[in-house]
Amino acid sequence: MSCGRSAADDLSVSLWFPGGYILMSLSSRCAGCLPPDAARLVPGHYDIIGDVAVVALPDALLPYREVIGRCITEERRSIRSVCLRTVPAAGTRRAAGYAVIYGREETETLHREYGCSYHLDVKAACYHSRLASEHHRVAGGVREGERVLVPFAGVGPFVVPAAQQGAQVTAIEMDPDACRYLRENIRENGVEDTVTVFEGDAMQLLPSCGGGFDRAIVPAPYGLNTALDEVIPLVSRGGVIHFYTFTVPEETDILATKFRGMGCVVNAMRRCGDAGPGASRWVFDLRRR
């Protein structure tokens, strides 16, 4: 079952999903404020991270961005800032570009998800609220005493839940802002005794992490599938790897064949959201042979 876009995106009612991702017909709310041609272009969803809403708009709607931002805050009174995604997340730091189009300029927030709390600045640190169900699903498979490796850890949405399950977690993050929030979130969630944080480039640090991990959770940045080459030798035989990557549906079977050739069994693969025209984020649940 896909955890990405579904038919619910086109409904005219609001649907709340655990973790803070909301699907709604924003176009119907903006219809009275925009010309008809513009209202039809309004996207069917936006993301909520704490009290910040993040929306992506086509160029034709940019003149109406403030109106759209106001409509969002009128629908959800808890939203204090509405950000426009101006540049997609890219590079190993995965930093996207955002501009506040309505509300307060402050974009530091507290996001709650499945009983965990995450401090972050939406402008400074990468966070994907649409992966809430993935954060929860993967943590549900972690067993007490496991050694878990999380490169590209961000502010900790895979790290904290795994540690709360009783795992010993090694987290790697190179972005200074994200790493600062990661350490804060580890303390805030009471798992500082079971998480070790390394600040630096995961591709450089992974070879020195030792081996014997029972599980690796790898939310790889766009275009960095080579991270899997570094991770596989660190996972014990029979261990589990949750590998997140970006691809088009036509290439998923090619990737699965490649991963099998790298010594892994593909237990499952599923789409976890859209990343751009034609491309989506996919997770491959692998087991090392």
In angstroms, the CA 22 to CA 58 distance is 20
Per-residue pLDDT of the chain (289 residues; tens, 9 = 90+): 333 333 233 323 333 444 444 444 677 888 889 999 999 999 878 999 999 999 999 999 999 999 999 999 988 899 999 999 887 655 545 556 899 999 999 999 999 999 999 999 999 998 989 899 999 999 999 999 999 999 999 999 999 999 999 999 999 999 999 999 999 999 999 999 999 999 999 999 999 999 999 999 999 998 899 999 999 999 999 999 999 999 999 999 999 999 999 999 999 999 998 776 668 999 999 999 9
- The residues, ordered by sequence, that sit 6+ positions from 130 with a Cβ below 8 Å of its Cβ are 3, 4, 21, 47, 272, 273
What is the pLDDT, as a whole number, of residue 11?
A: 29
Model pTM? 0.86
Residue with tokens 């759209």: 68
CATH number of the structural domain 127-288: 3.40.50.150
What is the pLDDT, as a whole number, of residue 276?
A: 64
Superfamily of domain 7-113: Met-10+ protein-like domains (3.30.300.110)
Domain boundaries, the chain: 7-113, 127-288
In this structure, what are the phi and psi dihedrals at residue 135, rounded to the nearest 5 degrees? -55, -45
- Look at residues 178, 183, 181 and name the one whose alpha carbon lies nearest to residue 169: 183
What is the pLDDT, as a whole number, of residue 234?
A: 98
What is the pLDDT, as a whole number, of residue 90?
A: 53
Contact 177, 111 (CB under 8 A): no
